[in-house]
Structure 1
């Protein structure tokens, strides 16, 4: 059972979505907990990156949708 069987179709989009989530969370937490003078840059950038990852999650989900039996027979 390969990794793409567990994840579904379009493994690259799944990986890109995970990377965007991890980078966004790291930047967000860095902006919150690090004692930096430009903390707001990290908070806003992390939030934007996490928001952009939703595009990849929606693409990955819509690629993995299976048509119903009624649509396949039509």
Structure 2
């Protein structure tokens, strides 16, 4: 739903695998980061750093997904 109208053209794009990998890295990174911050464990620093790395890798997936879904009409290309 976009601005009160039902969105009929919403789709994940052409690169669904990259989207799923980005979402998975976000979820795993957030869980590890929060577990490292709030749990009383002896290896909390490993969890915090690993969670931050997963979140950083998810940014690569998000940029790739966005880049591969850019559509340019053939008329705008100078071929």
Please, what TM-score do these two structures have when normalized by structure 2?
Answer: 0.79
What corresponds to 1:26 in structure 2? 31
SS in 2 for 1:28: helix
Q: 2:58 aligns with which of 45, 53, 61?
A: 53
| Distance in 2 separating the partners of 1:19 and 1:6 | 18
Q: Which has the higher helix share?
A: 1
Number of aligned positions between the proteins: 70
Please, what TM-score do these two structures have when normalized by structure 1?
Answer: 0.84
What corresponds to 1:8 in structure 2? 13
Unaligned stretches of 5+ residues in structure 1: none
Unaligned stretches of 5+ residues in structure 2: 1-9
